[in-house]
Amino acid sequence: MSLITLTVLGSGTSVGVPFVGCHCDVCTSTDPRDNRLRPSVWVRFDGRDVVIDTTPDFRYQALRVHIPKLDAILLTHGHADHILGLDDVRPFNFRQAGNIPVYGSADTLSIVRRVFQYVFSEAVSESSRPKLETVTIDATPFPLFDREIVPIPLFHGSMPVFGFRIGKLAYLTDHNRIPEASMALLQGLDTLFLDALRYKPHPTHSTVSESLAIVEKLQPRVAYFTHICHDLGHQRAESMLPDNVRLAYDGLTVTVDA
Ligand SMILES: [Zn+2]
Ligand SMILES: [Zn+2]
Ligand SMILES: [Zn+2]
């Protein structure tokens, strides 16, 4: 079977790490793994390049890991830290033909159309605009090139969001509740990414202990925690985790046998 490769473009929470103006041990750490851009991943399979979310750091993230082209964008939800880099797909449009498909729920795409009104406007523009084609998804698995993508319904506070499963890889971010029906979609995973913002409870994000409980139930071969704030220093936080649970960091690349 062919492989799926995932590279973490950003492992940080909505404001990134360091936090602007903060002088805590993590924000001033010299460990590069404590430098976390906003949350996103680049997934490669069958010669295709797909990103999950386009963060405000998207331009720098794409430069940093040399994303060569962009075949599709999957959006988890419409919060600023997950969509605001969408305009920065233009350099890909300049070099490749056609519109880039953007997959998201009806709610997510309605936010995208509002925030990026000029992109979808019929009016003639003198400036370059991203060439995008929105594709509305629900919880039904859908084909992406020659793969099947399984949307995983999650709750982010009261907001429904999607995680995505591709083969034995699942990427779930911005959740604090996973419905039982979604847990059933997450069986038999090799690699599972989960939101784990911090140790203290949060109304819309999973904590380290809550995500450990999810790992305990789902038993993937390995789990990575992401969407991390400055409460977690990489080395110390990871040393307290079981061997099959790691903290994601920017630039981390994992390969999963499809
Ligand atoms: Zn977020
Ligand atoms: Zn800090
Ligand atoms: Zn969010």
Cβ neighbours of residue 219 closer than 8 Å, sequence gap 6 or more: none
Instruction: Assign residue 62 the CATH number of its domain.
Output: 3.60.15.10
The neighbour count for residue 235, using CB atoms within 10 Å, is: 12
The answer to whether position 207 is within a domain reads: yes
The answer to whether position 127 is within a domain reads: yes
* Alpha carbon of 1 to ligand 1 centroid (Å): 33
The answer to whether position 254 is within a domain reads: no
Q: Which domain holds residue 102?
A: 3-249
* Alpha carbon of 2 to ligand 1 centroid (Å): 30
Neighbours of ion ligand 1 (CB under 5 A): 14, 81, 174
* Alpha carbon of 125 to ligand 2 centroid (Å): 42
* Alpha carbon of 60 to ligand 1 centroid (Å): 18
* Alpha carbon of 8 to ligand 2 centroid (Å): 21
> Which position has the token pair 């599972």?
192
* Alpha carbon of 139 to ligand 2 centroid (Å): 37
The answer to whether position 256 is within a domain reads: no
- Environment class of residue 34 by beta-carbon count within 10 Å: exposed (0-12), middle (13-18) or buried (19+)? buried
Q: Which ligand is nearest to the CA of 22?
A: 2
* Alpha carbon of 209 to ligand 1 centroid (Å): 19
Q: Parallel, antiparallel, or unpaired: how do β-strands 142-144 and 132-136 relate?
A: unpaired
Q: Which amino acid is at 183?
A: M
What is the tally of structural domains in the chain?
1
The answer to whether position 160 is within a domain reads: yes
The answer to whether position 116 is within a domain reads: yes
Q: Which ligand is nearest to the CA of 24?
A: 2
* Alpha carbon of 233 to ligand 2 centroid (Å): 10
The answer to whether position 97 is within a domain reads: yes
The answer to whether position 255 is within a domain reads: no
The pTM assigned to this predicted structure is: 0.98
* Alpha carbon of 173 to ligand 3 centroid (Å): 8
Per-residue pLDDT of the chain (258 residues; tens, 9 = 90+): 589 999 999 999 999 999 999 999 999 999 999 999 999 999 999 999 999 999 999 999 999 999 999 999 999 999 999 999 999 999 999 999 999 999 999 999 999 999 999 999 989 888 899 999 999 999 999 999 999 999 999 999 999 999 999 999 999 999 999 999 999 999 999 999 999 999 999 999 999 999 999 999 999 999 999 999 999 999 999 999 999 999 999 999 999 997
